[in-house]
Amino acid sequence: METPISKRTVFTGRILSVRVDTVLTGAGKETTREIIERPDTVAVVALDDNRNILLVKQYRYATGKHTVEIPAGVIDPGETPEQAARRELREETGYDCDILIPVHTYWPAIGYSTERMTIFLARGLKPAPLQGDEERIELLRLPFSDVYEMTRKGKPIFDDAKSAIGVLLAAGVFAGNAGRA
């Protein structure tokens, strides 16, 4: 266990802050920890009635390329994870859902970030567009079984962990029917 001695915010931006903490380790050594403070987030594995997964293709500045991902975003102040998941689904895909199941909550960068992400499975999709922010998003529909098999074999169409994790976990929800959600 580590005991904080001091905390100092060294950067505050629009979507994150960086903090440097001085801590005392369990061995009695004083050292520093660099922490990214970021709001919690959500991601949604959305499946339509034809067993297609809805994916979004968008440009990601940090990677310098277009990526394919499951819909995701930040939980706004005052929102529950469920509300944020529905809002992000509507903003990025134009759909809401009748069924929204929380599948897993985890820390995407457990060693240096406060962000926790909750992955949801959405079923019973129905059109319900909601104007999003400045993102330019292309909606893709692919057979879930194909996306699951590619991911399971280590050849996913995504470059990000949340999408691969989401697909694998969603398949697990359909025990006995993995990949045929």
Same domain, 20 and 97: no
- Based on the fold, state whether residues 21 and 46 are members of the same structural domain: no
Number of domains in the chain: 2
Among the residues of the chain, which ranges form H helices? 81-93, 144-152, 161-173
CA distance 24 to 118: 31
88 shares a domain with 163:
yes
Mean pLDDT of the chain: 94
Mean pLDDT of 31-47: 98
Please report which confidence band the pLDDT of residue 177 belongs to, taking 50, 70 and 90 as the band edges: very low
Taking residues 107-129, report their average pLDDT: 97
Average pLDDT, integer, range 123-138:
87
pLDDT of residue 131: 81
Q: Is residue 180 situated within a structural domain? A: no
Beta strands (DSSP E) in 13-163 are 17-24, 30-37, 41-47, 52-60, 65-69, 72-74, 95-106, 117-127, 138-143
Please give the pLDDT value at position 174: 67
Annotate 39-58 with b (16+ C-beta within 10 A) or e (fewer).
bbbbbbbbbbeeebbbbbee
Q: Which letter does DSSP use for residue 135 in this model? A: -
Owning domain of residue 18: 3-37
Whether residue 104 sits in one domain with residue 15: no
Residue 178: pLDDT band with limits 50, 70, 90: very low
pLDDT tens digits for 94-110? 999 999 999 999 999 99
